[in-house]
Amino acid sequence: MIQIRNLWKTYYVKGTPKVVANGLNLTFPSGLSVGLFGRNGAGKSTLLRMIAGVEDPDKGSIASDGTISWPVGFSGSFHGELTGAQNARFVARVYGVDTDELIAFVEDFAELGAHFHAPFRTYSSGMRSRLAFGLSMGIQFDTYLVDEVTSVGDAAFRARSTELLKQRIGNSAAIIVSHSMPLMKQLCDVGIVMINGHAKYYQDIDKAIDVHEAAMKGNVPDWLPR
């Protein structure tokens, strides 16, 4: 379970404040896959980074009783001068998993070829996402954070990624961000809609999608402060 209490986060764009978390209070249940919805800039990726601990809130708290992955697709924690294989070795040691097994899994799944043994700084954004996805899926977490990663690569790789993600979240919880509504219906049990720094939890994923799509058309839900 992940509990968020009185969470605040504001960015400044050319001196203008943009609140992406306005005193949020949310609970992400254990064992469920939660879809996170909102238009671009709503704060979905920022919330994932704060939950992962790679970005700090302005105020408030985030507490968890289990292990949490870094945001799958986020590559900020990798060392640019190390190869993909060396980064995988380092991550294996940090998380206390078998080094050779993790390296073999990532090399096979990410399909980076010779680039797996090239410096990370030479990777394209897609290659970085493949490495991050492979590393995350190669380690057992209680909650996986997933940010649009299944949009990386060709159709065959996306299908493999989705299938592996389904296997992992069958035994763990997940918080997932994607602009693909069919994928969200397929992967998620419940949903959270984020609008203008506020958020609402929905037990029904279809209802969450309906509210999100209506908001994208300008129909403001009644729970949003006027």
Whichever domain contains 202, its CATH number is 3.40.50.300
Q: What's the one-letter identity of residue 73?
A: G
* Model confidence band, residue 78 (pLDDT cutoffs 50, 70, 90): confident
Residue 213's alpha-carbon distances to 117, 180, 207, 209, 224, in angstroms, are 43, 12, 10, 6, 15
Taking the C-alpha atoms of residue 120 and residue 86, their distance in angstroms, rounded to an integer, is: 9
Residue 146: inside a domain: yes
**What pLDDT is attached to residue 211?**
97
Q: What is the tens place of the pLDDT at every residue in 135-181?
A: 888 999 999 998 876 555 667 777 888 888 888 887 899 999 998 89
Residue 148 lies in a domain: yes
Mean pLDDT score of the chain = 91
Whether the per-residue pLDDT at 73 is higher than 70: the answer is no
In a domain, 107, yes or no: yes
In a domain, 58, yes or no: yes
pLDDT for 106 beyond 90: yes
- Which stretches of 36-78 are DSSP H helices? 44-52
Pick from 61-70, 163-172, 201-210: least confident: 163-172
Residue 127 domain-assigned?
yes
C-beta separation of 144 from 165 below 8 A: yes
Which one is predicted more confidently, 158 or 214? 214
Residues 6+ away with beta carbon under 8 Å from 53: 62, 68
Instruction: Please state, for a pLDDT cut of 90, what percent of the chain lies above it.
Output: 68
pLDDT higher than threshold 70 for residue 56: yes
Q: What angle do CA 50, 55, 60 make, to 5 degrees?
A: 55
Segment 104-117 mean pLDDT: 94
Using DSSP's 3-state secondary structure scheme, residue 169 falls into helix
Residue 75's pLDDT is 58
What proportion of the chain, given as a percentage, has pLDDT over 70? 95
pLDDT at 208 over 80: yes
- Across the chain, the runs of DSSP E, i.e. the strands, are 2-13, 16-28, 33-37, 59-64, 68-72, 143-147, 173-177, 190-195, 198-202
pTM of the entire structure?
0.87
**34 forms bridges with which residues in the sheet?**
175, 190
Residue 68 structural domain: 2-216
3-class secondary structure, 193? strand
- Arithmetic mean of pLDDT, 5-32: 94
In a domain, 192, yes or no: yes
Comparing CA positions, the residue from 46, 6, 59, 76 lying closest to residue 175 is: 46
Residue 59 has pLDDT above 70, yes or no: yes
226 occurs within a structural domain: no
Give me the pLDDT at residue 173, please. 93
What does the pLDDT average to over 2-28? 95
SS3 content of the chain, % helix, strand, coil (to 5): 40, 30, 30
State how many domains the chain has.
1
| The pLDDT of residue 161 | 82
Does residue 224 belong to any structural domain of this protein?
Answer: no
Looking up tokens 């078998």 gives 98
Could you tell me which residue, 163 or 105, shows the higher pLDDT? 105
